[in-house]
Amino acid sequence: MSEYNLKYRSIPDSEEQMLDDLDEIIVKNRILEKTAGKLRIVVSEAFTNAYLHGNCKDAGKSIKIQMQVNKNQIFADIIDEGTGGLIKVQKRKTPEPMAENGRGINLIYHYSSDVRFWENDLGHFIVSITIDREEAMEINS
């Protein structure tokens, strides 16, 4: 199993760096494109959520990603340093067709095999994502 601990400043440009780092992990672990596409979107959505709603665009705060990759599954925790993120997710409404935001959580649910939204002892919001690797399912079937 491979483990990764990544940390980013809470600024808009960090998302590009995070996606570059994710692509490196994808190549190193020979994750097939179908699985990689799911991983990119769910981590990106959780990351954006952390930047906008958890850390409230505060550049002094960080976003951490803790990942574990094994031959069957990928686990990722996306952790912000804000407070009240869980309530924001629980209170979210289905976006109107012409809304400019509010689609991220739905995409996380759609592309994850499992997802959990929770808070640690510090009140920091954590999105814990599991993605089953398509390549493992093909071998096992």
Partner 1 sequence: MEITVREAGTVMVLDLKGRLDLASGSRLKEEVKKIFENDNTQIHLNMSEVEFINSSGLGSLVSIMKEVRLLKGRFTLSNLANYVEEIFEITQLSHIFEVFPTEQEAISSFQAISSN
Only segment of 11-19, 60-68, 78-86, 123-131 that touches partner 1 (CB under 8 A): 11-19
Question: Rounded CA gap, 135 and 13, in Å?
Answer: 32
DSSP track, 77-135: EEE-S-SSHHHHHHT--PPPTT-SS--HHHHHHHH-SEEEEEE-TT--EEEEEEEE-HH
The answer to whether 54 and 85 are in contact (CB under 8 A) is yes
- Distance in Å, CB of 108 to partner 1, minimum: 9
Residues 103-122 that bind partner 1 (CB under 8 A): 103-104, 106-107, 110
The answer to whether 45 and 104 are in contact (CB under 8 A) is yes
15 binds partner 1 (CB under 8 A): yes
Task: Take residue 85 and report the two structure tokens written for it.
Answer: 């993120």
Instruction: Select 52 or 115, whichever has its Cβ closest to partner 1.
Output: 52
7 binds partner 1 (CB under 8 A): no
- Distance in Å, CB of 41 to partner 1, minimum: 6
16 binds partner 1 (CB under 8 A): yes
98 binds partner 1 (CB under 8 A): yes
> Between 104-111 and 33-49, two packed helices, what is the crossing angle to 10 degrees?
150
Contact residues for partner 1, defined by CB under 8 A: 12-13, 15-16, 19, 37, 40-41, 44-45, 48, 51-52, 97-104, 106-107, 110
